[in-house]
């Protein structure tokens, strides 16, 4: 058994910043289920939204965030995060992140839904720059232990060593879920392989409330190429004038929204989806070739280079793109400082739902949320360390009665089945019938996977499969409850927003053992103990 004061699951921006703050007064262990640099954070291109321009204002950033959130963002959380953004960016810079500058000022980018230039960035590889600088700080910190290639399988806390397949019990006074998003629940996604929603699944199983999971953001422009794995073409391209066209060259966004290509993401993704379905075409074009070639290469060096690897020249031709699952606006219900409904368990970053994004995330607000949340986390962590109660001990883990899987093809099949059900039936456009079918299919898959979980020897594949199946079921359950269309949740059977629903959060909580029975066709426990709760104080 290994013991620590604070156990942080995740080495992305949320996990590393929390670790650095907590290490000022505690011993911290950070675990990452793959190499520490393989995170959603590393893939961020655009940047961090923060008010620095004299013509911009906090009020405008707040207004844009609230408008994008379609009536479901918590104004107090929005206000707190927006106002702290400049100080948080300055802190990152003091830790060694170099942001692009034009003379002495930040070179501010523009993205969809923003009424001003306010995206602080490091060229077009902001996430990589943040990840590298913070990882160095974490590695050299005397009170932080970084453990890579260890997958946490259960909160409070059993970790599976990927190489040796050994299960190690871990115990901590405070556990922080900073496990990122769940893009891999869908067949097509911009997220790396680590994004399997483990934190949401673990928290739910442990009895924490999860919320707003129906609001899955699909990024409008991911490279369409059979071999390229989910390469994103940043919104900053559209911010700098890139246009969307159908295959015959028609520009379609001006007829859809007054901001055309710079409309909020849900509007752009829905418009592309509509064009693809209406025309039966496999992709649309994204075209910035009207801007000078040298300027494009200077502003988007990473994107231009990656596209060249796939045979495309960003400076001379349009690029084929499609929407793909990108960001989870919902998550483990938490306050800005990460407090969840379970004492001693915090959730931060993309795993958490703090109320900032509401029904839709404004571009470049997510790194910001992870950053500011981590700055507030010590408020929750510190008092728990002086609590005289003994450190909770994990139950003994026994592999008795389990056997190795006969063949892994069954996992692969179920893995594909879950992701295809989600893509086909729970995508950008939903209907009551599609959601009902998805619910039934996922219930069967969950049942089969639970059986495998108790009878087979644990492997990373099995743990992740179990998690994507559960998170998929929870997304479907939230989507079935929201009987309206709002933000990222669009249901053809309820095509308009309903005012009363703007005040309702979909909250799911697993019933305690011995509690009410669950209904058939529901994910384990998702039907019971569900309530529509008022928001907690920040
Ligand atoms: C292609 C792309 C571009 C983006 N661009 C932007 C942008 O420009 N601006 C912006 O604001 N946002 C952007 N986002 C979103 C943003 O990057 C993420 O929301 C943010 O980085 C999440 O940070 P995090 O710390 O919460 O999680 P992550 O950075 O994803 O880190 C998750 C960590 O958890 C670990 N982990 C997961 N499960 C387990 C487990 N069971 N046990 C142990 N460890 C585990 C992983 O190994 C990883 O270390 C982008 C996302 C993508 C995918």
The CA-based dihedral angle spanning residues 70, 72, 75, 76, taken in that order and rounded to the nearest 10 degrees: -160
Question: What's the sign of the alpha-carbon dihedral 128, 134, 140, 144?
Answer: negative
Over residues 159-191, the pLDDT tens digits come to 776 666 777 788 899 999 999 999 999 998 999
SS (H, E, C) 395-457: CCCCCCCCECCCCCHHHHHHHHHHHHHHHHHCCCEECHHHHHHHHHHHHHHHHHHHHHHHHEC
What's the 370 CA to ligand 1 centre distance in angstroms? 9
* Ligand 1 atom at minimal distance to the Cα of residue 131: 29
- Residue closest via CA to ligand 1's atom 3 equals 44
Q: Which helix (H) or strand (E) holds 323?
A: strand 319-328
Active site residue 299: no
- Residue closest via CA to ligand 1's atom 50 equals 44
Over residues 11-70, the pLDDT tens digits come to 999 999 999 999 999 999 999 999 999 999 999 988 999 999 999 999 999 999 999 999
What's the 178 CA to ligand 1 centre distance in angstroms? 8
For 298-327, what is the mean pLDDT?
Answer: 95
Over residues 222-262, the pLDDT tens digits come to 999 988 877 999 888 999 999 999 999 999 999 999 999 99
Question: Is the confidence at residue 458, as pLDDT, over 90?
Answer: no
Residues 185 and 330 sit within 8 Å (Cβ to Cβ):
no
What's the 160 CA to ligand 1 centre distance in angstroms? 21
CB neighbours of 26 closer than 8 A, spacing ≥ 6? 5, 6, 143, 381, 385
What does the chain come to in residues?
A: 538
The burial of 186, by beta-carbon neighbours within 10 Å (0-12 exposed, 13-18 middle, 19 or more buried), is given as buried
What's the 514 CA to ligand 1 centre distance in angstroms? 36
- 10 Å Cβ neighbour count for 393? 11
pLDDT of residue 125: 92
Q: Where are the domains of the chain?
A: 218-325
Average pLDDT, whole number, for the chain?
90
Residues 531 and 507 sit within 8 Å (Cβ to Cβ):
yes
Q: Which of 265, 339, 441, 509 is catalytic?
A: 265
Residues 172 and 4 sit within 8 Å (Cβ to Cβ):
yes
Instruction: Give the CA distances from residue 532 to residues 25, 341, 503, 505, in Å, rounded to whole numbers and listed in that order.
Output: 37, 15, 9, 5
Ligand 1 site residues, Cβ closer than 6 angstroms: 9-15, 31-34, 39-41, 43-48, 126-127, 151-152, 178-181, 190-191, 194, 198, 232, 327, 349-351, 364-367, 370
What's the 146 CA to ligand 1 centre distance in angstroms? 17
* Ligand 1 atom at minimal distance to the Cα of residue 45: 8
Over residues 87-140, the pLDDT tens digits come to 999 999 999 999 999 888 999 998 888 999 999 999 989 999 999 999 999 999
Instruction: Give the CA distances from residue 72 to residues 194, 396, 505, in Å, rounded to whole numbers and listed in that order.
Output: 28, 42, 8
pLDDT of residue 520: 34
Options 3.90.700.10, 3.90.79.10, 3.40.50.880, 1.20.1250.20; which CATH number does 218-325 get?
A: 3.90.700.10
Return the best residue to mutate from 180, 237, 324, 371 for the ligand 1 pocket (most ligand atoms within 8 A of CB). 180
- Residue closest via CA to ligand 1's atom 53 equals 191
What Rg value do the Cα atoms of the chain yield, rounded?
Answer: 22
Return the biggest CA–CA distance within the chain: 69
Start-to-end CA span in the chain (Å)? 35
With H, G, I as helix, E, B as strand and everything else as coil, classify residue 87: helix
Question: What's the sign of the alpha-carbon dihedral 448, 450, 454, 459?
Answer: positive
Residues 241 and 281 sit within 8 Å (Cβ to Cβ):
no
Question: Rounded to an integer, what distance in angstroms lies between the CA atom of residue 109 and that of residue 262?
Answer: 13
pLDDT of residue 532: 30
pLDDT of residue 1: 62
Over residues 353-389, the pLDDT tens digits come to 999 999 999 999 999 999 999 999 999 999 999 887 8
Least confident residue range of 342-346, 386-390, 442-446: 386-390
Question: Rounded to an integer, what distance in angstroms lies between the CA atom of residue 333 and that of residue 77?
Answer: 13
- Residue closest via CA to ligand 1's atom 31 equals 12
CB neighbours of 87 closer than 8 A, spacing ≥ 6? none
pLDDT of residue 254: 97
């Amino acid at each position: 058994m290994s013991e620590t004061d604070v156990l942080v699951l995740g080495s992305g921006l949320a996990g590393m910043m929390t670790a650095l703050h907590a290490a000022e007064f505690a011993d911290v262990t950070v675990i990452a289920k793959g190499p520490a640099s393989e995170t959603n954070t590393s893939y961020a291109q655009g940047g961090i939204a923060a008010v620095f321009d004299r013509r911009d204002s906090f009020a405008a950033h707040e207004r844009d965030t609230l408008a994008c959130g379609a009536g479901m963002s918590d104004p107090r959380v929005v206000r707190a995060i927006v106002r702290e953004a400049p100080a948080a960016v300055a802190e990152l810079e003091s830790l060694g992140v170099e942001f692009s500058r034009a003379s002495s000022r930040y070179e501010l980018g523009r993205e969809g839904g923003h009424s001003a230039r306010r995206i602080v960035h490091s060229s077009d590889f902001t996430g990589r720059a943040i990840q590298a600088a913070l990882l160095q700080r974490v590695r050299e910190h005397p009170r932080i232990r970084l453990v890579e290639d260890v997958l946490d399988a259960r909160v409070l806390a059993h970790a599976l060593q990927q190489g040796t397949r050994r299960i190690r019990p871990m115990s901590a006074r405070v556990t922080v879920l900073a496990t990122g998003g769940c893009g891999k629940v869908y067949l097509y996604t911009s997220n790396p392989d680590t994004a399997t929603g483990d934190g949401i699944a673990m928290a739910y199983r442990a009895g924490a409330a999860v919320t707003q999971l129906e609001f899955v953001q699909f990024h409008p422009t991911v490279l369409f190429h059979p071999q390229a794995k989910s390469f994103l073409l940043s919104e900053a391209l559209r911010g700098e004038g890139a246009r969307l066209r159908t295959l015959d060259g028609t520009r379609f966004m001006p007829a859809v929204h007054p901001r055309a290509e710079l409309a909020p993401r849900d509007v752009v993704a829905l418009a592309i989806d509509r064009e693809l379905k209406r025309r039966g075409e496999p992709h649309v074009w994204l075209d910035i070739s009207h801007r000078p070639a040298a300027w494009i290469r200077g502003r988007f060096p990473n994107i231009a280079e990656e596209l060249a690897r796939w045979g495309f020249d960003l400076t001379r031709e349009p690029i084929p793109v499609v929407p793909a699952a990108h960001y989870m606006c919902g998550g483990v219900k938490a306050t800005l400082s990460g407090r969840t409904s379970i004492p001693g368990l915090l959730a931060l970053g993309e795993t958490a739902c703090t109320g900032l994004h509401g029904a839709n995330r404004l571009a470049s607000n997510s790194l910001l949320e992870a950053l500011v949340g981590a700055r507030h986390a010590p408020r929750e962590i510190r008092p728990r360390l002086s609590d005289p109660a003994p450190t909770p001990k994990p139950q003994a883990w026994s592999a008795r009665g389990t056997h190795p899987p006969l063949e892994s093809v069954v996992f692969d099949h179920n893995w594909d089945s879950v992701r295809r059900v989600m893509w086909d039936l729970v995508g950008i456009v939903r209907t009551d019938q599609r959601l009902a079918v998805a619910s039934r299919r996922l219930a069967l898959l969950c049942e089969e996977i639970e059986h495998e979980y108790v009878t087979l020897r644990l492997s990373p594949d099995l743990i992740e499969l179990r998690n994507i199946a559960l998170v998929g079921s929870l997304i479907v359950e939230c989507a079935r409850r929201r009987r309206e269309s709002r933000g990222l949740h669009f249901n053809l059977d309820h095509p308009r927003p309903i005012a009363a629903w703007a005040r309702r959060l979909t909250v799911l909580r697993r019933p305690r053992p011995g509690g009410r029975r669950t209904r058939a066709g529901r994910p384990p426990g998702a039907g019971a103990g569900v309530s529509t709760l008022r928001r907690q104080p920040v």
